[in-house]
Amino acid sequence: MNESKIPYKIYLSEEEMPTTWYNMRADMKIKPAPLLNPGTGQPVTLDELSAIFCRELGKQELDNDTREFPIPQEILDFYKMYRPSPLVRAYCLEKKLDTPAHIYYKFEGNNTSGSHKLNSAIAQAYYAKQQDLKGVTTETGAGQWGTALSMACAYLGLDCQVYMVKISYEQKPFRREVMRTYGAAVTPSPSNTTAVGRKILEEFPGTNGSLGCAISEAVEAAVSQEGYRYVLGSVLNQVLLHQSIIGQETYAACKKYDIKPDVIIGCAGGGSNLGGLISPFMGEKLRGEADYDFIAVEPASCPSFTRGTFAYDFCDTGHVTPLAKMYTLGSDFIPSANHAGGLRYHGMSPVLSELYDEGYMRAVSYEQTSVFAAAEEFARVEGILPAPESSHAIRCAVDEALKCKETGEEKNIIFGLTGTGYFDLYAYQQFNDGTMSDYIPSDEEIEKYKANLPKI
């Protein structure tokens, strides 16, 4: 098809919407390392996982072989409320940058949660409902995951208990109100409502909290209440599987207009949007059918890929979760109060960690002031006010497009625009006032936490 015919927004029709999730693990020669039971040091079994997670989700977690999972009809119907999401050709940004590169972004911000997280929230709530549970517990950092889960639970009639990282709870009161509007109970973490929360508070009084702390509390809350299970918004294999809907749609949109991506970029907190966006393309790379340059973008303040260690570690600060082999900064690493809340996690998806370790993708990190500069540049020409997390991907896409300007290459660059930044205006205010600071952990700090990794 003639390139000039590529519209600003590529939408798929309802009929063209993908009906399966794609499981990258099926095409990996070296599978991601199994989760381990910290008590026995053995791979966790489905029965052990089922004590924490819904059973069907436990099955998805352990399944390294099934390539395609049909999406249940009820989830597809929910998806249709806000999907397919558009693949947008950033004509205005290209013009502003004066680059020969073609820039596209997959925009996941068109729903009330303001992010891609709803794609997995509805799936996890659906399986909880199928199992006749009363409700689910979870953590939330910046609040997008908690909001997404509240929406999904409200839709299906499930109780929803959210432990929200304390600094976000205080900085984002409106996010909290959205969750309460959808019926969720929201507790700032660490709290004195759980044993692990009280212990963390005793050890680190006045702490801002972290995703790792909030996970510990949510897991404890799930296992100590009848009819409840814990759900997690990123990192896990099952979450990457659900988020593959992003990549499946992107892949179909590219096929529709004969676009061959060269570079695919995503911000990486726990790795779910990036893992989802790249999945069908990574599948082709793994099968030797095509090559792509995949880039994970993380904050310099929480550099799991670029400065972390590939090792078994706990997924939470309180050490109540299984051990995962992943790129990690250490489970007691509490990131600075960086505003890109959704990227402040010490670990990284085991699937992406394995792919990164094998050289199938690369990673870069940026300081937040340069990320916000890119966010503003983007907002002024493309209109959308991006989430700080998503803006990491924008920064990288802009830099890649500027490299093309030097070399004259007409690369196709696709990045994930994971969400909107309406609840991040405090951070935008700091940027606009010139009071935003950059924080980069010292080598000593990185080494200190690395020394505390569990010895496996």
Binding site for ligand PLP (CB under 6 A): 115, 117, 142, 144-145, 234, 267-274, 342-343, 387, 389-390, 418-419
For residue 342, the minimal CB distance to ligand PLP (Å) is 3
Q: Which is nearer to ligand PLP, 308 or 342 (CB)?
A: 342
The nearer residue to ligand PLP, 44 or 274, going by C-beta atoms, is 274
Tokens representing 82 are: 């806000």
Nearer to ligand PLP, 79 or 423 (CB): 423
Residue 433 burial (CB count, 10 A): 8
Q: Among 272, 221, 225, which Cα is nearest to 247's?
A: 272
CB of 350 to ligand PLP, least distance (A): 13
> In angstroms, what CA-CA distances link 174 with 141, 167, 169, 425?
14, 13, 9, 11
Nearer to ligand PLP, 400 or 424 (CB): 424
Between residues 99 and 113, which has the closer beta carbon with respect to ligand PLP?
113
Residue 41 CA to residue 82 CA, distance in Å, equals 42
**Helix runs in 408-436, H state only:** 425-433
- Name the residue nearer to ligand PLP (CB basis): 208 or 420: 420
Q: HSE on the CB side for 327, CA within 13 Å? A: 25
Supply the minimum distance, in Å, between the C-beta of residue 428 and ligand PLP. Answer: 14
* Minimum CB distance to ligand PLP smaller for 270 or for 335: 270
411 φ/ψ angles, rounded to the nearest 5 degrees: -70, 150
Query: Can you spell out the DSSP letters for 145-180?
Result: HHHHHHHHHHHHT-EEEEEEEHHHHHH-HHHHHHHH
Q: Which tokens is 90 given?
A: 């950033």
Instruction: Report, in Å, the least distance between residue 343 CB and ligand PLP.
Output: 6
CB of 171 to ligand PLP, least distance (A): 15
Could you tell me which of 379, 380, 370 has the C-alpha nearest to residue 420?
379
Nearest CA to 229 out of 52, 59, 56, 57 is that of: 52
Alpha carbons 322 and 71: distance in angstroms, whole number: 27
Smallest gap from Cβ 7 to ligand PLP, in A, equals 25
Whichever of 144 and 161 has its CB closer to ligand PLP, that residue is: 144
